[in-house]
Every structure is written in C-alpha cells, then in structure tokens.
Amino acid sequence: MNIRLGVPDTIAWRIALTVGAAIMSVLAFSALFDRFAGPSSAERAELVRADDAIRMIEAAPAGNRQNLADTITIADKVFWYPPGTSVAQQLVTAKLHAPDPGTMAGFRDNGLDRRTVIFTAADPLSNGIKFDRVAHPNAYFMAVQLRDNSWVLFIANHRRWGDLLPARLVTTLASVALLILAASMLATYFLARPIRQFAEELRQRGGDPRAGAVREAGPKELRAAIAAFNSLQAQLRKFVDDRTLMLAAISHDLRTPLTKIRLRGEFIDDEEQRVRLFRDVDDLQAMADSALSFFRDDYKDEEATAFDFAGLLRTIADDYSDQGAVVRYAGPERFALNGRPFSLRRACMNLVDNAVKWGGGADLELTCNSAGATLTVSDRGPGIPSEALEKVFSPFFRVEQSRNRSTGGMGLGLTSALAVVRAHAGDIVLRNRQGGGLTVCVTLPAASKAREIARTQKT
C-alpha cells in the first residue's frame, strides 16, 4: 500500500491513519443510521401532527378536550386525563423519558420541552388505561403534560415512533463493532502485506547468500530493515566469495607439490613403497580436484531456462540402465521446470550414484502439483545411521570411514547436490526406509518461483 497523503510512510502513521479512518467511518455510519434507521419522513410528519394536536387540545375548554381527542387519527387511541386522576398522578411521578433528538421530535411550549413519558403495555403505568391488552400486548404509549398539569396520552397498537432506546443501542453498538472490525482487518491486511512479501522473498532465496537484493517496499521501518538485510547479505556474499576464492586457490596450488612428489617417487627403488606413495598422491590429487570443482561453484554461472525435468530424469535412468545398473523411473512423461538443467542433472546423478553404489539400484519417482515437484530416490542399501542423516551434507564427511576413496568417495556428492537444489529454492531430506534402504526426497518450487529466484540471482 503506497500512502501518498503528504505524511511519512511509517508504521506509526499507518496505525494513526487506520484509527482515524475507523473513527470517521463510525461517525459517518452514525449520521446515516440516524438519517435512515430513525423515523421515516411519514413518522416525523405524524410527530409534528401530534404536536399540533397537543396544542389544539390545550387550547380547547376542559369539557371538550376528550371529545376533541377522540377525533384525532394520528394514533390508534388518544386520551385526555385531567389533573388529579390516578393516571395523571402516576404520570407525574413516573420516570421521564425525554424524546431522542435523532428519533423523535420534541414537544415544546414557549421554548421549553414539555414533560414527556414514554412506556409500553408491560409497564405498570398502563394498568389504569383502558385498551385491549389481549389484542395488543405490545401497545406503545406516549404521554405529554399540558400547562394545566393535565395529560394527553397517545396509544399506538404498533410502534410508530422508532425503536426503543435499548433496541437502538444494541443495534448501533453491534453495527459500530462490525464496522470497526472490518476497517481494522482491511487496514491490518495492507499493513502486514509488505511484511509477508518480505518473508516470502526470504523463504524463496533459501538462505543463498548469492541471491539478489530484496526489493525495498513498505513502511519506512520495514524498508530500513530490508536495507539492513541487503547490506548484511552483501557482506556475507563477499565473505563467502573471498573464502571460496582462497580455498579454490589452495586446491589449485596443491597440484604443483603433488606433481613434484609423484616425480620424485619415481626414484624410489622399493616397488611396494613407491606404489603406496603413488596411491596416497592419487588420493590427495582426487581430493584437490573434487574440492576445486566444488569451490568453483560453476553451477552459478549456468543460465536458467525452462526445461523438461521429467525427461531429464528418464534420460538419467536410461543411461544407468545402459551401463547395467538397475535404475527405474516412475512419474509423468513431461514436467516443465525453470532452472539450470546441467546443474540439476549433476545433482540428481550424485544422488543416483550413491543409491547404485550402496543399494545396487535406484527407484526414481516424480510427483508434481501446482506448488512444484517432489523427486524421491530410493534404494535397498544399508541406509544411514540416524545420527548421521544431517552430517552427510557436510563437506568431506563420509559414513564409510575407510580411507579408500573407491568405497567412501570424497564426501562432496551430497554437499554439492544440496547446494544446487537450494540454489533453486528447494531442499533435500534423507530418511531411512522401513525394511532397509534410504529415501532421498528432493523438493523444487514451481516454475514461477524458480524463475523469480533466477532473475534475482542475475541482478
């Protein structure tokens, strides 16, 4: 929500504007409620006619007042009670109910409000009044005192002068509460939307320090937080790049002394010692090459594009099957994904390699939905100890603790695969299968999210 009212776009101002908007809405509602929920124009006209009738009865002689009251048609029944009658005495001591200015017209005499009492058939004041209680149990009464302390009583079998105060109060409070709740929810939605967008962008980046900067949007405080995050991310990116460059340089420079050691080993006369030395040199050379390939992080330089992920998995399964390995694929024939196909191919091959090496084969299963794709790579090997399920993603960690690289590898396959998948805003989870074996679950987001990640990483 872009606020362009000439005020600072801060959270404090947004809250203040929200409260102000709610108050103005309540005031506007109250005005409309008094205008349309109060008496209609016809009812107001009846009240004016009632005021005229009161003045006419008051101007007439006392002996003619009841006859004049009987001719009035603005109510179902009109009575006149002289001073001293039981009804008049009860009305004098009754609790006053001044007419509501927003609902009823006041009855005035020389600028002063007349004494007015409003009650219903359930009130004890109605006991001395003659009307059909059975036919009209909800009759409504309005008594107005004249200057000579006599009373004019209007009886309406059905309410004509608006709602009673308690009913109006409940209706008004309920309507105001709903209005404030609606205004607050709407304002809160627009206030929280940039925070949700910020959290979504962070989630999409998957902790990748090389992802692009987060777009600064929202209130001033949130923009300051995003700017601080972008600055921290830039520092982390520089830190990672510096350390990666240093480690890659070390791995590269190790080749020279290893070559020298191999050349000098040629002069060793003992054949057994020379073979052992060359084997150690080969191990060091393999570790240096693996580290150099990993630290180069060359999958970052690959251009993101749309490709058939299901077709890629079928190709991997066919290639391994041609080599005699038992690798099966189950899933859709085609599934479009936006990402780096060569990087994902290398990551999937690392997972299949592990399954074939330790389980003798691999079952690939791809499931797709609107949120993205899920790939499971299952085998029937020995599995991984539960305490090592997370450690296997650490660089150079090997479950097989021997120094034989033909069995234990370099310990970078899963690390590299996890880096590739997380660069696509996905994740990898390992779990042991019941009955033996391991299942690797790879989740990748939908093409739209992956495309957004690729675009931000290029900027």
- pLDDT at position 190: 75
The whole-angstrom separation of Cα 162 and Cα 168 is 9
Which 3 state secondary structure label does DSSP give 161? coil
4 CB burial (10 A radius; 0-12, 13-18, 19+):
exposed
Delimit the domains of the chain by residue range. Answer: 41-162, 301-458
Q: What is the mean pLDDT of the chain?
A: 76
Residue 15 has pLDDT above 80, yes or no: no
Q: Angle at which helices 11-36 and 220-253 pack, to 10 degrees?
A: 140
Centroid of chain to Cα 23: 26
Centroid of chain to Cα 154: 58
Per residue in 154-205, pLDDT (tens digit) is 888 766 554 444 555 566 677 777 777 777 777 777 777 888 888 877 776 6
Q: Which residues of 30-42 are buried (b: 16+ CB within 10 A; e: fewer)?
A: beebeeebbbeee
Per residue in 74-129, pLDDT (tens digit) is 778 888 999 888 888 888 887 665 444 333 445 655 555 678 888 888 888 888 88
Element housing 118 (H / E): strand 116-120
- What backbone phi and psi angles, to 5 degrees, belong to 305? -155, 165
- What backbone phi and psi angles, to 5 degrees, belong to 423? -65, -20
Residue 5 has pLDDT above 60, yes or no: no
Per residue in 211-250, pLDDT (tens digit) is 677 888 777 778 888 888 888 888 877 877 777 777 777 7
- List Cα–Cα distances, 234 to 208, 230, 248, 297, in angstroms: 11, 6, 21, 18
Contacts of 408 (CB under 8 A, 6+ apart): 398, 399, 400, 401, 402
CATH of domain 301-458: 3.30.565.10
Element housing 364 (H / E): strand 361-369
The whole-angstrom separation of Cα 259 and Cα 416 is 27
Q: Angle at which helices 165-205 and 11-36 pack, to 10 degrees?
A: 150
The whole-angstrom separation of Cα 1 and Cα 24 is 20
Residue 33, CA atoms < 13 Å, CB-side half-sphere: 17
Mean pLDDT of 281-285: 77
Per residue in 377-409, pLDDT (tens digit) is 999 888 888 888 888 877 767 666 544 444 445
290 pLDDT band, cuts 50/70/90, is: low
Count how many residues are written for the chain.
459
Residue, of 72 and 253, whose pLDDT is higher: 72
- List Cα–Cα distances, 132 to 73, 99, 118, 137, 326, in angstroms: 18, 26, 18, 8, 97
The whole-angstrom separation of Cα 120 and Cα 139 is 6
Nearest to 448 by CA among 338, 288, 290: 338
Residue 298 has pLDDT above 60, yes or no: no
The whole-angstrom separation of Cα 431 and Cα 141 is 80
Whether this prediction's pTM lies above 0.85 is answered by no
Range list of β-strands (E), 232-342: 305-308, 326-330, 336-339
